[in-house]
Structure 1
Amino acid sequence: METLMANMEAARAYARQVTQKHIGEQERAESFAVSMTGVSHQLPSREVVLNVLELASSREADNRSLFCYLIDYSSGPPSQMALQDLCPMGLTDLKIRLPHQVKVLCLRQFGPLVRQPTTTMAGVEDEYGNVAVLHINTHDRPDVDVLPLGSVIAIKEPRLDVRKPPEPGDQLPCFLTVEHISDLIILHPLHQLTPLAFRQASVQPETEQTALEWKSLGNTALKANSMQLARNYYSAGLAVAGSHQSELKHDLLRNRALANLNLGRCDAALADALASISEPSSIESQRLNFKAYHRAGRAEYLLDWWWCRRLDWAPKSRRKAGKGRRFLSKVDVMPSELHGRGLFANRDIVPGELVMCEKAISIVYGDLTRPKPVLKYLAHKKECKVTGNLAGAHRQLAKKLSDNLSLITKVLELYAGKDYDAETKELIQLDETAVVDSYLLHEICANSGDSCAVVADTASVIFPFHWQGERHEEGRRGVGLWCMASYINHSCMPNSSRSFIGDLMITRATKPIARDQEITRYYQDFRQNLPAEDLLRGSWDFAEARREWGKVQADALGDIRTEMLASYTTHTKSYPRPAMLYLYGHLAVEKVLGDTPEEAALDICLEWLRYFGLVVTIQGETVKVDRTLSTSHSRISAAYLLTAKTMQQTGRAQLGQRFVELAKEAYLIYNGTMHGMSSSEETPSRDTPTTPLYQTDETLRTHLTRVTAFRPFADLADAERDLFKAIAGERENDSKCFIVETKETIFYPQGGGQPFDTGVITVSGRKFNVEAVRNAAGGRALHFGTWEDDSTFQTLAAGDMVEQHIDGARRDLNSRSHTAGHVVSLAVRRMVEQGVDLDVIDQKASHIPGACFVEFKGLIDGKFKDEIQSQTTKFVKQALPVKLYWLKPEELGEKDVIISEGMPVVSGHDGLVRIVDIVGAGAYPCGGTHTPNTSACGEIVITRIKRQKGMSKVSYTIL
C-alpha cells in the first residue's frame, strides 16, 4: 500500500507539472502586461482597426482551446459612480492598465461587430476621430443588443489592456476592455454627455413623430422581431403622448411589456403590463386587459413569483406567503454546524414526498460533452487558478440581473468562495441600472451553481431499465443557479434526490426526514467525470500520468481487495456498494429472465437492492425497507420491478404488487414526476415482438427505442443462425458479431422481394453497425452486426435506450424499386382490363436494385414490351398517390384488393393485413416500404421479357 500511495503522489506531481506549463503562459503574459502599466500607446488608424475586425471575423474558433474563457481579476471591480459625477476623457489620454478613476470615455461604434466565443469585438471612435478596438466581455446577448450598430456609448473608468508582447506582423497589441456590464452605458443621442459631433450625426429629434406614429413604428419592429428597436419606439411614443391619450398610452405600455418580455426584462415587463390595465368598460377593453394580465403573469413566472398577490385574477386559495407560492414552505435556511449554512426541514417529510420545487434564476445551455475548464487570474495573489466548467453561466446571470434588479439581492446573498473579495454585496443603483460585478457573479456560479441535463421528452427520462442514464450522455446540458437549492449541502448518505423538467428543479425525499434535520443530496456519480478525464488526458498531456498509474494498479489491485475484504465487517455489510451496482444489474436481468430458479433469482435481486443501501425484510405478506444508509439511483426502480417479477413467478402476487409500488416510489424520487412510468412498468422479455414502425411511418430515419435482447450471434438457435448464413458465411470468425432486438424498429427486414435496411444503432457515443435485418419467430426483428470499435468488450442490456439510424439513400432506392414493381404489375393488369389478349396472373417479384422483375403465370409475348412500357410510364407521369391502410382478412374481397396466386397474405399481430393502394390503379397486400406517389419512382424502364416453362418474367430498372 505504501508503494501504491507513493506512485499515486508521483502521478499527481506530474499532473501538476503539466498544468503549470499551461498556466505559466498566462502568468508570463500577465507579467508583461504589468511591466507595460502606465505606458502611453500609439493610436491605430481606422484602416488598421477594420483590418483587425475583418481578420477576427474570418478566423475560425479553435475547438482545441484548453480553456473556454479567461477571468482576469486584475481588471478590478465595477465603477460605483454615476455618469454625472465622472469627467470626460479622450482615447489619447489612456495609459496601459492604469485605473482611470473618476473618468468616462464617450465613443461611437463603427464597422462590423465580431462575435467570438469569449468576447464581442467592435471598432469605436471618439469625437476627435481617434479610434480603437473594444472588447466587451460582459454578457451573452445578440450582438446588436450588446452594442447596437452606430450607437454612442459611455465607458465608466475605462481600461486599456494588453495581453502579450507584440510579435512581427501584430497590428494592434492594445485594446479597450469592458468586464462589467454596468460599466458600459448606451447613451441617447441627445444625452448631455453625447459629444456635439455625434449629436449632429444622429437621427432627427423624436418629438417630430406623434405618439400614434411611434406606436406604428414599434409594431412594425415587433413583427420583424427587432425587440430592442420596438422597445425604443414605444418609449418614444410614451414620451410624447398627451394626457388625453390614455387609451393610446395603455396600448404603448402593453406592447412595450411584450417587447420587454422578449428581451428578458421581466421587471419592466411586469410594471408596463400592470400599468396598461384599464377599466373594463367594454368587451374589447376586457380582451386587452386579459393580454396585459397574461404578460404580467409570464413576467412573474420568469421571476419565480408564482401567484403574486398583485394579480387580482389569482385564485384566492393561492394567496399565501411567498415561500408557499414557490413550493418552498417545507424548508428554511439555517446555520449548519458542519457547512456554515444549510437547508433544513421545518416539518417531517416522508420518502417520495416533495421537499421543494424551484425555477432557475438563470440558466445557460451548451454542449458539455467535451468539458473545458476556466482559467482565472487572481491579481491579489498573483497566481492562476483552474475552475470547473461553467459554460459562461455568469455572463447569462449578469444579463438577467442587469435587466431585473429585483433579483439581485437574493443572488448576492449566496456563497461566493474565497478567491475574490468583492468591495460590496449590497444593491447599488446608478444611471437607471444596478452595479453588477461580473467577477463576483462568476464566483457565485462556481460555488453555488448547479448543472442539469436537458429533458426534452419521455425518451430522455431515466426509465427503470434505461441503464445508460448514469453514464455520460452526449448532448446539451445546462449550467444555472437555483438560489434556494444552492443551500443544500452534499453528503455520502443523502436524504434527498433532485430531478429536472427544463429549468425547474424538483427535490424529493429519499428517506424519512425529521423536522429540523438538514436536507442533503448526493455527490456526482464518478462515471459522469469520465469525459472530462478524457479531455484532460488529451489536452493536458495526462496520458503519461495514466500509464504510470496503470503500472501500479495491476500490482496493487490484489492487495487492495484483500484489505477491503478484511475490513468488511458485519456492520459495514449494509453500506451501499456503488461499484457493484452495474454488475449486479446485468446479473439480475439474466437470472430473472433466464432459467435460474426463482428463489435464486430473488436472492440476487435482494442483494442488488442491498448494494443500493436498501435493507429489505420480508415477513409474511409485509415488506419493510430500511433506508437509513440508502443512496439515490436511477436503477432502484428496476431492481424493485425485477424483484416484483420473481414474486409473481412464485405465486406471491401481493408481495409482487408491493414491490411494484416501491418501484413507482423510486421512479418518482429520481425523475420528479411519474411521467413515462406507465410505459416502463413491464420488465423486458426476450420474446417481446418488435413493432415495425416502417409500416406506419415510412419517413422515419432515426428513432429512440429500448433494447429487449442482446446476445452473441453464436448463441442463436440454428434456425435463426441460418437467416444470416449468407452474410455470416463471408466471415472467417463470427465471434465479434451480435444480435440486437428492440421494442420497435425502423429497419426493414428482408422479405417480400425487398432487401433489408442497413445503418447504425448508437448508445452513449458507441456505434453498432447494422449489416442485416431478418424477421424471426414471434414477430421479432433481429439486427445483425458488429461494434464499430471492437477493441474492447461492449454489451447492451434489456431496457437500454438506443437510437436507430437507417441508411436513407439505401431505403429510398429500395422503396422506389418496390413501388415500381407494383406499377409494372398494375400496368399489365390495366392492359388486360382494356382488352389486350393476355392470360396472365402476377405471382412473385424481386425488388432488389439491379435485379428487379415481376413474374407472371402465363406467357407474355415480346411484342407487348412497348405497350407495357407505355402504360407504366403513364402511371408514373400521373403521380398516383400511394396510400396505406389495414383490413381484416375477410374484408379483402369486399375492398377489391388484388390477391395474387402464390403471394401469401400475412396478417400482423393485431390480425390485420396491411394494404398498399396505388390510387386509381390497384391495391395489393404488402408489408414493404414505398414512395408517396408513383412519380417518385423516377423513370421505369422495361428491359426484357423472358418466357420459360409457362412463366413470364418482366424485368425492369429505375433511373
Structure 2
Amino acid sequence: MDTNDVSDVPQFIQMLERQKEILKMSAAFAGKRPERREPLATLVFRHLQHLQRKATPNQYSFQTSFITEVYPPSTAPFESLTPLFIRDLTLQTHHRGRYILLRTATPPSKLTGIMTTVEDERGDGELLALYNQDERLDPEHIIPKDTVCLVKEPYYKTTSNGTYSIRVDHVSDIIFLGALDSRIPLNWRNSQVQNWSAEKWREHGNSAVRSGNFTKARASYTNALSCPTDDQELLKIRNNRAYANLKLGRFDEALKDADVALQLCPTDEKALFRASQALYELNNFQESLSYLQRLVERYPENASAQKELSRTKLRIDEEKHATFNFRQMLDTVDKETTSLDCATYIGPITIKESKGRGRGVFLTRDVKAGDLLLCEKACAAKHSLDSKSRISLVINTNTSRMTKGEQANVISQIINQLYQNPSKTHSITSAYSGSYQTVKEIEVDGEPIVDSFLVEKIVSLNSFGCPISSAKEFRDYRKMSQGQDSEKSGHDSSGYWVFSSHFNHACIPNVSRSFIGNFMIVRAAKDLASGEELTLEYVSAHLNEKERQKKLSSWGFICDCKLCHADRLTPKEKNQKRAALMKTVVAYFKNSEQWYASGTVTKSHLDKIVKILNDLEATYVSPAFEQPRFKLLSPYLEVIRIYRNLNLPREVIAMAKKALSSLGFEIQTVADRLRVTSGPGLFRSDFTIEMFLHLASAYGYIGNKKFRDDLVGYEKKSKGEASC
C-alpha cells in the first residue's frame, strides 16, 4: 500500500522477462547432474578474486531479489534424513529426505544474499547461497571461514550467470554446528577446544563480546553449557548468554536464559535486569515492570534499573492512555534515527469478520473527526535514505509484480524475527488469509520453522510505503508540486504494521494515516458511529478507475465503491478532455516560483487558470460527495497560494470554498457562525488541512474573527494528524 510499484516500468519489465527466460532454460536441466563441476581450488580462487574486487568501494549499488520457484521449508527431523554429497546433487532439484554436510572454504561475500564456497567430506566444492539472513549482522559473524553446517533437503540450481549453487531461502533449513557437535567429522574438528572447561568457554565468549561478535559469543556460551560445572558457573553462563541473545535480538531465548538464572538465584541482579529487558523488547511492558520492581526493591541503588523503571511506566501509559508527545517524536526522527522508543496504542477499535472481505477493523464506540484511533509501532520497517545511489528491487516472476525500495529488507527482518522470537509467530502470520498453503509444523528438533515465501506474500500484500515524517514530506512536496497533480509516487521506504494490516480498502477511506519514523498514526477522517468498518486506501484515488482496478487486482478483488462507479459512468471524451486540460494547468504553473520572485503574476493571469479549472469541473458527471475532484486539489491550492501572496483575501475565500466543495465539503453560514459539514473524507489529507488554514487566515485578514475561529476549531480536530 503506497509502496513503489514499478511493474509497468519498461526497464524493469525487461529484467523480469530476462529472468523468466533464464528460468525456462534452467528447467531443461532439471534432475540432471552438471556436465562439468569445477574443482574446489578453482571455486576458492574465483571467490577470493570477487572479494578483492568488492573491497573497492562502489558509488552505486543495485540489488535485485527474485522471488522465483516457491517451495516449503524442511519440516523433517534430522534423524529421519540421510546424507548425500556434492557429486550426488542434481540440478533444479529439492533433495527431499536428504541432508548435506558442508564446511566453508572461504570468507563470505554479501550480494543480495550471502555467498561462500563450501566443501564436503570428499573434498568436492560448490557455491553456497544463503538468503534472508539477518541484515544487521556482519556476514563474517554469520558464516565465517571453517564454519561447519548442515543443509536440510538442499535445493541445487543453476545461477543466472550459468554456474551452480546450493540455495537456502528458508533460514530454518540450515543448521550451524557448534564446535562440540558430534556430527562434525573428526578431521574437521578443532582439537584444541575439545577439552575446554565451561569456564574456558565462558571466557572465550566474553572475549567475543568485547570484540562485538555476539554470534560467536552465543555459540561459546552454548558450548559452555554442555560442559559439567557447578551452579555458580552456570549462573554466570546463563546471564552472559542472555546478554548475547539480547544483543542479537533473540529476546525469547534471552528471557529463558534469565529465568533459568533466576531459578538458580531468585534475587540475581543481572538476571532480573535482563529478563525485564527481554520483556520490554517483546512489548510486554507490564511484565517487564514486575521484574524491574523486584529489582529496585532488592537493589535500590541500581541507577540503570531506576531509569528503566521510569521508561517502562511511560510505555504503559502510552499503551493505555495514548500519552504520546507527537512534537517530541517529530523532533527526534531524522535520517539517523527512524526507530522510536514508544508503545503501541490501540484505541476504540477491534478486528472482526467483515462480510465478503475477510477480517476488518471496526469501531467499538462513536468517534469524532480527528480522534486518534491507533498509534502503532512497526513490526519491521526500513527507510530508504539514498534512493539514487542505492536501488533495491523485488521481482516476483510468479505474479510479475515488481517493487522498488526496501521491501526485501522488511521481508528479511520479519523472517528473522519469527526465527529468533517464535512467540511473535501467530500475531504476524495470522494476517495472511490467501490461497498459499504453508506447512503446518511450527518447529522441529526444538527449533522454529519459518516459511520465507509465506512472509513474502504477507509483506507484498500488507506492507505500507512510509516517509520518515509525513509532516516533513508534505512540506517538501509543497515546494515541488507547483500545480501538478497532488498524487505522490509510491515510497521506496517500507514497513509492516501488524494491526494496521487488517484495514480493508476504500477509494475514499474514512480514516487517515500518517507516519513518524517507524510509527503509523491513524485518525478518524470524519465523524463515525460505533460498529462502522474503518477503511484505508490501498491505491491512490488520484489514479483513474482503470489504473486503480489494475493495481487492486494484486489483492484479488474489484472495487465497486461510489467513486469507482461514478468514474465508470464518465464518458471517454470527458476523460480525454480532463487529461488535456490538466496538461495545460501543469504547464501554466511550472514556473510559478519565478513569477513570485519577478512579481509578474497578476490577477488577470489567474483569471485564465480559474477558467480552465471551471472547465475541468465540468468534466465530472457525478456530485462531488460521490466523485471528489482529487486531481484538482493541487491546482486549486496553487491558485489559493498565489492569491494569498497577492494579498487578495476575498479571492482566497472564494477559491478555498470552491476547492473544498469540489471534495464534497459544505460550508454554510448559520446564525452568524460558519458550519462545515463533512464530505466523504473530512480532514482526509494535509492538503485539505492547508485549505482550511488558508480560509481561516483570509477571514481573519478581513476582520471576520468569528468565521476564522470556527475554521481554526475544525482544523484543531486534526491537529494530531497535521503534526505527524
TM-score, shorter chain, exceeding 0.5: yes
Alpha-carbon distance, 1:557 to partner: 3.0
Q: Aligned match of 1:48 in 38, 42, 57? A: 42
| Paired residues of 1:373 and 1:386 also in contact (CA < 8 A) | no
Alpha-carbon distance, 1:432 to partner: 3.0
Helix, strand or coil: the match of 1:78?
coil
User: In the TM superposition, what are the counterparts of 1:410-429 in structure 2 within 5 Å?
Assistant: 410-415=427-432, 417-418=434-435, 421-424=436-439, 426-429=440-443
Q: Find the aligned partners of 1:236 and 1:332 in 2 and give their Cα distance.
A: 46
> 2:639: which partner in 1?
587
Amino acid at match of 1:376: N
| Paired residues of 2:202 and 2:237 also in contact (CA < 8 A) | yes
> 1:543: which partner in 2?
none
Helix, strand or coil: the match of 2:176?
strand
> 1:133: which partner in 2?
127
Q: Find the aligned partners of 2:637 and 2:254 in 1 and give their Cα distance.
A: 52
Q: Find the aligned partners of 1:585 and 1:17 in 2 and give their Cα distance.
A: 33
> 2:185: which partner in 1?
195
Moved more, 514-523 or 332-341: 332-341
> 1:677: which partner in 2?
none
| Paired residues of 1:376 and 1:386 also in contact (CA < 8 A) | yes
| Paired residues of 2:624 and 2:661 also in contact (CA < 8 A) | no
User: In the TM superposition, what are the counterparts of 1:397-436 in structure 2 within 5 Å?
Assistant: 397-415=414-432, 417-418=434-435, 421-424=436-439, 426-436=440-450
User: In the TM superposition, what are the counterparts of 1:613-762 in structure 2 within 5 Å?
Assistant: 613-630=664-681, 632-672=684-724
> 2:413: which partner in 1?
396
| Paired residues of 2:394 and 2:403 also in contact (CA < 8 A) | yes
| Paired residues of 1:364 and 1:391 also in contact (CA < 8 A) | no
Q: Find the aligned partners of 1:321 and 1:645 in 2 and give their Cα distance.
A: 37
Deviations, residues 726-770 of structure 1 (Å, cap 9, x unaligned): xxxxxxxxxxxxxxxxxxxxxxxxxxxxxxxxxxxxxxxxxxxxx
| Paired residues of 1:102 and 1:157 also in contact (CA < 8 A) | yes
Of Structure 1 and Structure 2, the greater strand share is in 1
| Paired residues of 2:142 and 2:215 also in contact (CA < 8 A) | no
Deviations, residues 528-583 of structure 1 (Å, cap 9, x unaligned): 99xxxxxxxxxxxxxxxxxxxxxx97998379999975564683378532222222
The answer to whether the aligner puts 1:521 opposite 2:536 as a matched pair is yes
Amino acid at match of 1:151: T
Task: Summarize the Cα distance change of 1:276–1:295 in structure 2 as closer, same or farther, 3 Å threshold.
Answer: farther
| Paired residues of 2:141 and 2:213 also in contact (CA < 8 A) | no
Q: Find the aligned partners of 1:448 and 1:639 in 2 and give their Cα distance.
A: 31
Task: Summarize the Cα distance change of 1:608–1:271 in structure 2 as closer, same or farther, 3 Å threshold.
Answer: farther
Amino acid at match of 2:427: K
User: In the TM superposition, what are the counterparts of 1:68-467 in structure 2 within 5 Å?
Assistant: 68-73=64-69, 76-116=71-111, 118-141=112-135, 142-163=138-159, 173-199=163-189, 201=190, 203-205=192-194, 208-211=196-199, 213-240=200-227, 242-245=229-232, 248-277=233-262, 288=270, 291-292=273-274, 294-301=276-283, 305-308=284-287, 311-312=290-291, 313=293, 326-328=344-346, 330-367=348-385, 369=387, 373-378=393-398, 385-389=400-404, 390-415=407-432, 417-418=434-435, 421-424=436-439, 426-455=440-469, 460=472, 462=474
| Paired residues of 1:574 and 1:610 also in contact (CA < 8 A) | no
| Paired residues of 1:96 and 1:161 also in contact (CA < 8 A) | yes
Amino acid at match of 2:418: L
User: In the TM superposition, what are the counterparts of 1:838-877 in structure 2 within 5 Å?
Assistant: none
Deviations, residues 748-806 of structure 1 (Å, cap 9, x unaligned): xxxxxxxxxxxxxxxxxxxxxxxxxxxxxxxxxxxxxxxxxxxxxxxxxxxxxxxxxxx
Q: Find the aligned partners of 1:124 and 1:629 in 2 and give their Cα distance.
A: 61
Task: Summarize the Cα distance change of 1:217–1:493 in structure 2 as closer, same or farther, 3 Å threshold.
Answer: same
Amino acid at match of 1:80: T
Moved more, 408-417 or 123-132: 408-417
Q: Find the aligned partners of 1:526 and 1:215 in 2 and give their Cα distance.
A: 60
Alpha-carbon distance, 1:645 to partner: 1.7
> 2:299: which partner in 1?
none
Helix, strand or coil: the match of 1:341?
strand
| Paired residues of 1:398 and 1:441 also in contact (CA < 8 A) | yes
Alpha-carbon distance, 1:337 to partner: 2.6
Alpha-carbon distance, 1:121 to partner: 0.9
TM-score, with structure 1 as normaliser: 0.57
Q: Find the aligned partners of 1:517 and 1:176 in 2 and give their Cα distance.
A: 51
Alpha-carbon distance, 1:255 to partner: 3.2
Aligned length: 608
Of Structure 1 and Structure 2, the greater helix share is in 2
Give the gaps of 5 or more residues in structure 1: 1-13, 167-172, 379-383, 530-551, 673-959
| Paired residues of 2:44 and 2:105 also in contact (CA < 8 A) | no
Q: Aligned match of 2:32 in 39, 42, 50? A: 39
> 1:828: which partner in 2?
none
Task: Summarize the Cα distance change of 1:356–1:250 in structure 2 as closer, same or farther, 3 Å threshold.
Answer: farther
Task: Summarize the Cα distance change of 1:308–1:461 in structure 2 as closer, same or farther, 3 Å threshold.
Answer: farther
Task: Summarize the Cα distance change of 1:345–1:133 in structure 2 as closer, same or farther, 3 Å threshold.
Answer: same
Alpha-carbon distance, 1:69 to partner: 1.7
Amino acid at match of 1:489: N
TM-score, with structure 2 as normaliser: 0.74
> 2:336: which partner in 1?
none
Helix, strand or coil: the match of 1:255?
helix
Task: Summarize the Cα distance change of 1:310–1:250 in structure 2 as closer, same or farther, 3 Å threshold.
Answer: farther
Amino acid at match of 1:95: T
Alpha-carbon distance, 1:602 to partner: 1.9
Helix, strand or coil: the match of 1:111?
coil
Task: Summarize the Cα distance change of 1:589–1:280 in structure 2 as closer, same or farther, 3 Å threshold.
Answer: farther
Alpha-carbon distance, 1:328 to partner: 2.6
Task: Summarize the Cα distance change of 1:251–1:634 in structure 2 as closer, same or farther, 3 Å threshold.
Answer: farther
Q: Which has the larger radius of gyration?
A: 1
Q: Find the aligned partners of 2:715 and 2:582 in 1 and give their Cα distance.
A: 38
Q: Find the aligned partners of 1:164 and 1:569 in 2 and give their Cα distance.
A: 52
Give the gaps of 5 or more residues in structure 2: 1-6, 294-311, 323-342, 545-574, 584-611
Helix, strand or coil: the match of 2:183?
coil
Alpha-carbon distance, 1:413 to partner: 1.8
Q: Find the aligned partners of 1:25 and 1:570 in 2 and give their Cα distance.
A: 45
Task: Summarize the Cα distance change of 1:96–1:348 in structure 2 as closer, same or farther, 3 Å threshold.
Answer: same
Q: Find the aligned partners of 1:270 and 1:671 in 2 and give their Cα distance.
A: 38
The answer to whether the aligner puts 1:605 opposite 2:656 as a matched pair is yes
> 2:580: which partner in 1?
557
Higher-RCO chain (CA-CA 8 Å, sequence separation at least 6):
2
Q: Find the aligned partners of 2:238 and 2:265 in 1 and give their Cα distance.
A: 17
> 1:849: which partner in 2?
none
Amino acid at match of 1:513: L
CA-based RMSD: 4.1
> 1:778: which partner in 2?
none
Task: Summarize the Cα distance change of 1:557–1:637 in structure 2 as closer, same or farther, 3 Å threshold.
Answer: closer
Give the percent of matched residue pairs that are identical in Structure 1 and Structure 2: 22
Helix, strand or coil: the match of 1:388?
strand
| Paired residues of 2:103 and 2:118 also in contact (CA < 8 A) | yes
Alpha-carbon distance, 1:417 to partner: 4.5
Helix, strand or coil: the match of 2:18?
helix
Amino acid at match of 1:517: E
Helix, strand or coil: the match of 1:261?
helix
Helix, strand or coil: the match of 2:108?
strand
> 2:552: which partner in 1?
none
Q: Find the aligned partners of 2:577 and 2:627 in 1 and give their Cα distance.
A: 26
Q: Find the aligned partners of 1:510 and 1:459 in 2 and give their Cα distance.
A: 17
Task: Summarize the Cα distance change of 1:311–1:501 in structure 2 as closer, same or farther, 3 Å threshold.
Answer: farther
Amino acid at match of 2:361: L
Deviations, residues 334-368 of structure 1 (Å, cap 9, x unaligned): 22235232111122222221212222222233357
Deviations, residues 231-283 of structure 1 (Å, cap 9, x unaligned): 223334444474441xx54443333223212211121123334444589999x
